[in-house]
């Protein structure tokens, strides 16, 4: 009987034709997410029992869902963040998890810089008011001459630093496990978190979402920032206390923000952040380009095919089943 693959990521047929062909050529039946949103837990509970493999989007793969997925052998995460997968439960249940390491970082880095420029130069506001027939020629602020602080200095932060090298900016970074060689080669000054928050004009968050990083950006952290500074988050929503961000933006504790990720996704329409003028919001789309989706889709499909051919998928983050003989 043919094995079934569940695709959690959205728009799979449209952006990942090659990946779908690879899976079908290798004898898999591919079931795509028909929604423009992640599957809900209730939807997953109904269907997971049928699948041998998953190309996982942002839906929740917690212990309960994984336990119901009796035939599931491998999850290829459609991206690099795996905070929606209970790795411990997956390991205990013998489910291999792989991520698409190093593929979408450039797109996310580009989006982080796009958000910096959008906030500094007020591009969304100018677009809206010009379409409305107004001629609002308010002043923006330069990216050149600014001090940019990267909170976390892993793959995406380093790619952001590389892309920022074309601007006349000074770059600082804070990381618990700092990569000094990368910092030297990218002309980035490593520093502590407090200095980064106090000195920088732009703080861009690139941390992983872990219990110890939750609400890294809270009331105290925003209070350390300059009132002229802006905050960018293309990382994960739970890193930021959104109530504190709202207060900081509303009361002028900081000047602006560019936000791609939220504590609750999709964002609720009544989220107070959406009432503010000094924030630019995007719907978790930093990695969503046709080129990246095609490459990430192919990577997750190849991981699934490799697994069932007795090979370890590329960049496995739970056990590597075929090493241990």
Ligand X SMILES: NC(=O)c1ccc[n+]([C@@H]2O[C@H](COP(=O)([O-])OP(=O)(O)OC[C@H]3O[C@@H](n4cnc5c(N)ncnc54)[C@H](O)[C@@H]3O)[C@@H](O)[C@H]2O)c1
The H-or-E segment that residue 194 falls in is: helix 193-199
**Which C-beta is closer to ligand X: that of 38 or that of 154?**
154
Question: For this structure, is 212 an active site residue?
Answer: no
Catalytic residue among 236, 242, 263, 288: 236
> Smallest distance, Å, CB 162 to ligand X?
13
One residue of 236, 241, 246, 313 binding ligand X per CB under 6 A: 236
Distance CA 246, CA 286 (A): 22
> 2-21 mask for ligand X (x: CB under 6 A)?
--------------------
Cα separation, 37 vs 176, in Å, equals: 33
The span of 60-68, 84-92, 116-124, 209-217 binding ligand X (CB under 6 A) equals 209-217
Verify binding: residue 261, ligand X, rule CB under 6 A.
yes
Site for ligand X in 267-306 (CB under 6 A): 284, 286-287
CB 216 within 8 A of CB 243: no
Q: Looking at 57, 76, 105, 258, which residue binds ligand X (CB under 6 A)?
A: 105
Tell me whether residue 265 is one of the annotated catalytic residues. yes
- Tell which one of 175, 199, 241, 306 touches ligand X (CB under 6 A): 175
Tell me which of 260, 300, 316, 321 binds ligand X, using CB under 6 A.
Answer: 260
CB–CB of 231/139 below 8 Å? no
Site for ligand X, residues 79 to 98, rule: CB under 6 A: 79-81
Both structure tokens of 158: 């380093």
Of the pair 155, 321, the CB lying nearest ligand X is at 155
End-to-end CA distance of the chain: 28
Active-site residue (options: 59, 199, 284, 288) = 284
149 neighbors 202 (Cβ within 8 angstroms): yes
The secondary structure of the chain in percent helix, strand, coil, rounded to multiples of 5, reads 40, 15, 45
The per-residue DSSP string of 260-271 comes to S--SSSSPPTT-
Residue 257 interacting with ligand X (CB under 6 A): no
Burial annotation 80-114 (CB, 10 A radius, 16+ → b, else e): bbbbbbbeebbeebebbbbbbeebbbbbbbbbbbb
Binding footprint of ligand X on the chain (CB under 6 A): 79-81, 104-105, 108, 152-157, 175-177, 206-209, 212-213, 234-236, 260-261, 284, 286-287
Active-site residues: which are they? 236, 265, 284
């Amino acid at each position: 009987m043919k094995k079934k693959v569940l695709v959690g990521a959205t728009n799979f047929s449209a952006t990942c034709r090659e990946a779908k062909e690879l899976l079908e050529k290798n004898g898999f039946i591919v079931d795509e997410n028909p929604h423009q949103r992640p599957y809900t837990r209730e939807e997953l509970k109904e269907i997971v029992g049928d699948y041998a493999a998953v190309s996982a989007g942002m839906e929740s793969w917690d212990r309960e869902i994984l336990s119901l997925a009796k035939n599931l052998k491998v999850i290829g995460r459609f991206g690099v963040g795996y905070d929606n997968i209970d790795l411990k439960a997956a390991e205990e249940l013998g489910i291999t998890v792989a991520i698409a390491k190093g593929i979408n970082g450039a797109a996310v880095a580009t989006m982080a810089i796009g958000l910096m420029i959008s906030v500094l130069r007020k591009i969304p506001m100018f677009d809206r008011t010009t379409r409305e027939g107004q001629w609002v020629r308010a002043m923006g602020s330069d990216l050149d001459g600014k001090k940019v602080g990267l909170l976390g200095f892993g793959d995406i932060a380093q790619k952001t630093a590389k892309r920022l090298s074309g601007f006349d900016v000074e770059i600082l970074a804070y990381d618990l496990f700092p990569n000094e060689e990368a910092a030297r080669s990218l002309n980035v000054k490593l520093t502590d978190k407090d200095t980064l928050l106090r000195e920088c004009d732009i703080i861009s968050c690139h941390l992983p979402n872990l219990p110890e990083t939750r609400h890294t950006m809270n009331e105290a952290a925003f209070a350390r920032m300059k009132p002229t500074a802006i905050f960018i988050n293309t990382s994960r929503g739970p890193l930021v206390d959104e109530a504190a961000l709202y207060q900081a933006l509303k009361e002028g504790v900081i000047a602006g923000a560019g936000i791609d990720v939220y504590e609750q996704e999709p964002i609720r329409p009544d989220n107070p952040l959406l009432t503010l003028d000094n924030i630019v919001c995007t719907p978790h789309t930093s990695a969503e380009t046709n080129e990246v989706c095609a490459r990430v889709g192919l990577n997750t499909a190849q991981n699934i095919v490799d697994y069932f051919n007795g090979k370890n998928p590329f960049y496995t983050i739970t056990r590597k089943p075929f090493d241990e003989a």
